[in-house]
Amino acid sequence: MGEGFWWRSLLFTFVLLAPSAAQATPELAVEIAGERIILSAEELLGRPDTQDLSLKQDVAYRKAMQYRALPMADLLSAHSVSPDEEIEFIASDGFASLIPAALLLGDGEESAVAWLAIEPPDAPWPALPGKQISAGPFYLVWTDAEKSGIRSEQWPYAVVQVRNVAPAATRWPEIAVADDLPAEDPARAGQEVFVTQCMACHTLNGAGSATKGPDLNQPANPTRYFTEEGLRRLLRDPAALRSWPGMQMPAFSQEMLSEAELDAVIAYLRHMADH
Protein backbone atom coordinates (compact mmCIF):
# COMPACT_ATOMS: atom_id res chain seq x y z
CA MET A 1 0.00 0.00 0.00
CA GLY A 2 1.29 3.47 -0.90
CA GLU A 3 2.24 6.28 1.41
CA GLY A 4 -0.90 8.19 0.40
CA PHE A 5 -3.09 5.44 1.88
CA TRP A 6 -1.48 5.77 5.30
CA TRP A 7 -1.87 9.54 5.28
CA ARG A 8 -5.54 9.21 4.34
CA SER A 9 -6.03 6.65 7.13
CA LEU A 10 -4.36 8.95 9.64
CA LEU A 11 -6.52 11.88 8.54
CA PHE A 12 -9.70 9.76 8.77
CA THR A 13 -8.79 8.69 12.32
CA PHE A 14 -8.15 12.30 13.31
CA VAL A 15 -11.57 13.38 12.00
CA LEU A 16 -13.27 10.62 13.99
CA LEU A 17 -11.53 11.61 17.21
CA ALA A 18 -11.81 15.37 16.77
CA PRO A 19 -14.47 17.19 18.85
CA SER A 20 -17.74 17.64 16.98
CA ALA A 21 -20.73 19.93 17.34
CA ALA A 22 -22.52 17.12 19.20
CA GLN A 23 -19.85 17.32 21.88
CA ALA A 24 -20.36 21.04 22.44
CA THR A 25 -21.08 22.52 25.85
CA PRO A 26 -24.51 21.31 27.12
CA GLU A 27 -27.34 23.83 27.00
CA LEU A 28 -30.43 24.40 29.11
CA ALA A 29 -33.61 25.73 27.52
CA VAL A 30 -35.56 28.04 29.85
CA GLU A 31 -39.10 29.00 28.81
CA ILE A 32 -40.87 31.52 31.04
CA ALA A 33 -44.02 33.40 30.03
CA GLY A 34 -43.53 32.48 26.38
CA GLU A 35 -39.94 33.73 26.28
CA ARG A 36 -37.31 31.10 25.46
CA ILE A 37 -33.64 31.52 26.26
CA ILE A 38 -30.78 29.07 25.90
CA LEU A 39 -28.14 28.98 28.64
CA SER A 40 -24.92 27.04 28.23
CA ALA A 41 -23.23 25.18 31.06
CA GLU A 42 -20.23 27.47 30.72
CA GLU A 43 -22.44 30.54 30.94
CA LEU A 44 -24.16 29.26 34.08
CA LEU A 45 -20.88 28.21 35.69
CA GLY A 46 -19.55 31.71 35.07
CA ARG A 47 -22.37 33.49 36.90
CA PRO A 48 -21.32 35.27 40.12
CA ASP A 49 -24.16 33.62 42.08
CA THR A 50 -22.98 30.09 41.22
CA GLN A 51 -21.20 28.54 44.19
CA ASP A 52 -19.77 25.35 45.65
CA LEU A 53 -22.40 23.13 47.25
CA SER A 54 -21.96 20.07 49.48
CA LEU A 55 -24.73 17.52 50.07
CA LYS A 56 -24.47 14.94 52.81
CA GLN A 57 -26.93 12.57 51.09
CA ASP A 58 -27.67 13.09 47.44
CA VAL A 59 -30.90 11.39 46.29
CA ALA A 60 -29.70 10.25 42.86
CA TYR A 61 -26.19 9.20 43.90
CA ARG A 62 -27.23 7.95 47.37
CA LYS A 63 -24.07 9.38 48.93
CA ALA A 64 -22.38 12.68 49.71
CA MET A 65 -21.74 14.82 46.64
CA GLN A 66 -20.25 18.18 45.78
CA TYR A 67 -21.44 20.46 42.99
CA ARG A 68 -21.13 23.87 41.43
CA ALA A 69 -24.70 25.08 41.67
CA LEU A 70 -26.93 28.08 41.07
CA PRO A 71 -29.84 29.00 43.39
CA MET A 72 -33.05 28.32 41.46
CA ALA A 73 -34.64 31.37 43.11
CA ASP A 74 -32.03 33.55 41.39
CA LEU A 75 -32.72 32.00 38.00
CA LEU A 76 -36.51 32.23 38.33
CA SER A 77 -36.79 35.64 40.00
CA ALA A 78 -35.12 37.20 36.99
CA HIS A 79 -38.16 36.14 34.97
CA SER A 80 -40.91 37.28 37.39
CA VAL A 81 -42.21 33.77 38.07
CA SER A 82 -45.35 33.70 40.22
CA PRO A 83 -45.46 31.41 43.30
CA ASP A 84 -48.87 30.18 42.06
CA GLU A 85 -47.34 28.60 38.96
CA GLU A 86 -45.65 25.26 38.54
CA ILE A 87 -42.23 24.73 37.02
CA GLU A 88 -41.72 21.72 34.81
CA PHE A 89 -38.28 20.14 34.57
CA ILE A 90 -37.94 17.97 31.47
CA ALA A 91 -35.13 15.44 31.27
CA SER A 92 -33.48 13.93 28.22
CA ASP A 93 -34.83 10.46 29.12
CA GLY A 94 -38.53 11.48 29.14
CA PHE A 95 -38.79 12.22 32.89
CA ALA A 96 -40.87 15.35 33.59
CA SER A 97 -41.08 16.68 37.14
CA LEU A 98 -43.73 19.24 38.11
CA ILE A 99 -42.71 21.38 41.09
CA PRO A 100 -44.63 24.30 42.63
CA ALA A 101 -42.80 27.55 41.94
CA ALA A 102 -43.33 28.50 45.60
CA LEU A 103 -41.03 25.63 46.66
CA LEU A 104 -38.33 26.71 44.21
CA LEU A 105 -38.52 30.38 45.20
CA GLY A 106 -38.27 29.48 48.89
CA ASP A 107 -39.73 31.18 51.92
CA GLY A 108 -36.90 32.17 54.23
CA GLU A 109 -34.79 30.09 56.59
CA GLU A 110 -37.58 27.65 57.41
CA SER A 111 -37.84 26.24 53.89
CA ALA A 112 -35.76 24.01 51.64
CA VAL A 113 -33.47 25.66 49.11
CA ALA A 114 -33.48 24.53 45.47
CA TRP A 115 -30.27 24.56 43.41
CA LEU A 116 -29.48 23.89 39.78
CA ALA A 117 -26.34 21.78 39.84
CA ILE A 118 -24.25 22.21 36.68
CA GLU A 119 -21.95 19.48 35.40
CA PRO A 120 -18.62 21.04 34.31
CA PRO A 121 -17.83 19.95 30.72
CA ASP A 122 -14.19 19.39 31.67
CA ALA A 123 -14.92 17.50 34.91
CA PRO A 124 -17.94 15.21 34.38
CA TRP A 125 -19.74 13.70 37.35
CA PRO A 126 -19.54 9.93 37.98
CA ALA A 127 -22.09 7.50 36.58
CA LEU A 128 -25.26 7.05 38.61
CA PRO A 129 -25.64 3.79 40.56
CA GLY A 130 -26.59 1.01 38.15
CA LYS A 131 -26.45 3.34 35.12
CA GLN A 132 -23.94 4.33 32.49
CA ILE A 133 -24.79 8.04 32.61
CA SER A 134 -24.21 10.80 35.13
CA ALA A 135 -26.91 13.07 36.58
CA GLY A 136 -25.79 15.83 34.21
CA PRO A 137 -25.79 18.08 32.43
CA PHE A 138 -28.19 19.80 34.85
CA TYR A 139 -29.65 18.40 38.06
CA LEU A 140 -32.10 19.95 40.54
CA VAL A 141 -30.85 19.37 44.08
CA TRP A 142 -31.98 20.61 47.50
CA THR A 143 -30.51 21.64 50.81
CA ASP A 144 -32.64 21.25 53.95
CA ALA A 145 -35.09 19.24 51.85
CA GLU A 146 -36.86 17.92 54.95
CA LYS A 147 -38.03 21.43 55.88
CA SER A 148 -40.40 21.50 52.89
CA GLY A 149 -41.10 17.78 52.56
CA ILE A 150 -39.30 17.52 49.22
CA ARG A 151 -40.02 14.18 47.55
CA SER A 152 -37.78 11.82 45.62
CA GLU A 153 -39.29 12.74 42.24
CA GLN A 154 -38.56 16.40 42.91
CA TRP A 155 -34.84 15.79 42.32
CA PRO A 156 -34.90 15.58 38.48
CA TYR A 157 -31.57 14.91 36.80
CA ALA A 158 -30.45 14.94 33.14
CA VAL A 159 -32.51 18.12 32.83
CA VAL A 160 -32.53 19.81 29.42
CA GLN A 161 -35.53 22.13 29.71
CA VAL A 162 -37.21 24.24 32.40
CA ARG A 163 -40.55 25.99 31.83
CA ASN A 164 -43.40 27.58 33.78
CA VAL A 165 -46.82 25.98 33.36
CA ALA A 166 -50.31 26.13 34.84
CA PRO A 167 -51.19 23.76 37.72
CA ALA A 168 -51.54 20.18 36.49
CA ALA A 169 -55.32 19.79 36.95
CA THR A 170 -55.90 23.08 35.11
CA ARG A 171 -53.54 22.14 32.33
CA TRP A 172 -54.93 18.62 32.00
CA PRO A 173 -58.58 18.37 33.15
CA GLU A 174 -58.40 14.67 32.23
CA ILE A 175 -56.53 13.91 35.46
CA ALA A 176 -58.96 15.69 37.81
CA VAL A 177 -61.31 13.75 40.07
CA ALA A 178 -65.06 14.21 39.63
CA ASP A 179 -66.41 17.58 40.79
CA ASP A 180 -69.00 15.93 43.03
CA LEU A 181 -66.41 13.89 44.94
CA PRO A 182 -66.56 14.81 48.67
CA ALA A 183 -63.74 17.03 49.86
CA GLU A 184 -62.62 14.43 52.41
CA ASP A 185 -62.44 11.59 49.87
CA PRO A 186 -58.86 10.18 49.84
CA ALA A 187 -58.86 10.21 46.02
CA ARG A 188 -58.55 14.01 46.15
CA ALA A 189 -55.38 13.78 48.22
CA GLY A 190 -54.25 10.94 45.97
CA GLN A 191 -54.47 13.20 42.94
CA GLU A 192 -51.93 15.59 44.47
CA VAL A 193 -49.52 12.77 45.33
CA PHE A 194 -50.00 11.26 41.87
CA VAL A 195 -49.03 14.53 40.16
CA THR A 196 -45.81 14.77 42.16
CA GLN A 197 -44.69 11.16 42.40
CA CYS A 198 -46.26 9.40 39.41
CA MET A 199 -46.66 11.92 36.59
CA ALA A 200 -42.90 12.41 36.50
CA CYS A 201 -42.80 9.15 34.54
CA HIS A 202 -46.40 8.31 33.59
CA THR A 203 -49.33 9.88 31.79
CA LEU A 204 -52.98 9.34 32.72
CA ASN A 205 -55.81 9.46 30.19
CA GLY A 206 -53.15 10.59 27.73
CA ALA A 207 -52.42 13.70 29.80
CA GLY A 208 -48.94 14.63 30.95
CA SER A 209 -45.50 15.51 29.58
CA ALA A 210 -43.58 12.40 30.67
CA THR A 211 -42.73 9.67 28.19
CA LYS A 212 -40.78 7.35 30.47
CA GLY A 213 -43.54 4.97 31.62
CA PRO A 214 -46.92 3.73 30.35
CA ASP A 215 -50.24 5.50 30.74
CA LEU A 216 -51.96 4.46 33.99
CA ASN A 217 -55.57 4.60 32.82
CA GLN A 218 -55.44 3.75 29.11
CA PRO A 219 -56.13 1.18 27.87
CA ALA A 220 -56.68 -0.14 31.42
CA ASN A 221 -56.16 1.08 34.97
CA PRO A 222 -53.72 -0.98 37.13
CA THR A 223 -56.46 -1.46 39.75
CA ARG A 224 -58.21 -3.55 37.08
CA TYR A 225 -55.38 -6.04 36.56
CA PHE A 226 -53.56 -6.02 39.93
CA THR A 227 -54.92 -7.13 43.25
CA GLU A 228 -54.59 -4.39 45.86
CA GLU A 229 -51.86 -6.38 47.60
CA GLY A 230 -50.04 -6.83 44.31
CA LEU A 231 -50.29 -3.13 43.48
CA ARG A 232 -48.95 -2.18 46.90
CA ARG A 233 -46.01 -4.55 46.51
CA LEU A 234 -45.32 -3.20 43.03
CA LEU A 235 -45.11 0.37 44.33
CA ARG A 236 -43.02 -0.53 47.33
CA ASP A 237 -40.55 -2.83 45.53
CA PRO A 238 -41.19 -3.26 41.79
CA ALA A 239 -38.24 -5.61 41.27
CA ALA A 240 -39.74 -8.06 43.78
CA LEU A 241 -42.65 -8.73 41.41
CA ARG A 242 -41.19 -8.32 37.93
CA SER A 243 -37.75 -7.42 36.70
CA TRP A 244 -35.98 -7.05 33.35
CA PRO A 245 -32.74 -5.40 32.15
CA GLY A 246 -34.44 -2.17 31.04
CA MET A 247 -36.53 -1.74 34.17
CA GLN A 248 -36.33 1.80 35.58
CA MET A 249 -39.15 2.17 38.11
CA PRO A 250 -37.69 2.77 41.58
CA ALA A 251 -39.01 1.43 44.85
CA PHE A 252 -40.97 3.87 47.03
CA SER A 253 -39.98 3.57 50.65
CA GLN A 254 -42.05 4.80 53.61
CA GLU A 255 -39.98 8.00 53.56
CA MET A 256 -40.84 8.63 49.92
CA LEU A 257 -44.47 7.50 50.12
CA SER A 258 -46.19 6.96 53.46
CA GLU A 259 -48.86 4.31 53.97
CA ALA A 260 -51.54 7.02 54.06
CA GLU A 261 -50.24 8.47 50.80
CA LEU A 262 -50.12 5.03 49.23
CA ASP A 263 -53.74 4.50 50.27
CA ALA A 264 -54.63 7.84 48.68
CA VAL A 265 -52.87 7.06 45.38
CA ILE A 266 -54.66 3.71 45.11
CA ALA A 267 -57.98 5.42 45.91
CA TYR A 268 -57.25 7.94 43.15
CA LEU A 269 -56.40 5.24 40.61
CA ARG A 270 -59.50 3.29 41.54
CA HIS A 271 -61.61 6.43 41.11
CA MET A 272 -60.03 7.26 37.75
CA ALA A 273 -60.67 3.72 36.48
CA ASP A 274 -64.30 4.81 36.05
CA HIS A 275 -63.33 8.11 34.43
**82 domain residue, yes or no:** yes
**12 domain residue, yes or no:** no
At which of 122, 140, 165 does a domain end? 165
At which of 165, 192, 225 does a domain end? 165
- Residue numbers of the domain that contains 63: 24-165
Proportion of the chain above pLDDT 70, given as a percent: 90
Residues 143 and 107 in one domain: yes
Residues 140 and 260 in one domain: no
Q: What is the mean pLDDT of residues 117-135?
A: 94
What is this structure's pTM?
A: 0.83
Q: Could you give the strand order of the β-sheet that contains 86-91, starting from the edge strand earlier in sequence?
A: 35-40, 27-32, 159-165, 86-91, 96-100
Nearest to 75 by CA among 61, 89, 62, 54: 89
Q: Please give the tally of structural domains in the chain.
A: 2
Q: Which residue has the higher pLDDT, 221 or 8?
A: 221
pLDDT at 5 over 50: no
pLDDT at 221 over 90: yes
**186 domain residue, yes or no:** yes
Q: Confidence band (pLDDT; 50, 70, 90) for 204?
A: very high
**1 domain residue, yes or no:** no
Residues 115 and 189 in one domain: no
pLDDT tens figures, 155-177: 999 999 999 998 888 999 999 99
**102 domain residue, yes or no:** yes
At which of 126, 150, 165 does a domain end? 165
Residues 111 and 84 in one domain: yes
Which residues are CB-neighbours of 167 under 8 A, at least 6 positions away?
Answer: 84, 85, 86
Q: How long, in residues, is the chain?
A: 275
CA distance 119 to 124: 6
Nearest to 98 by CA among 6, 210, 206: 210
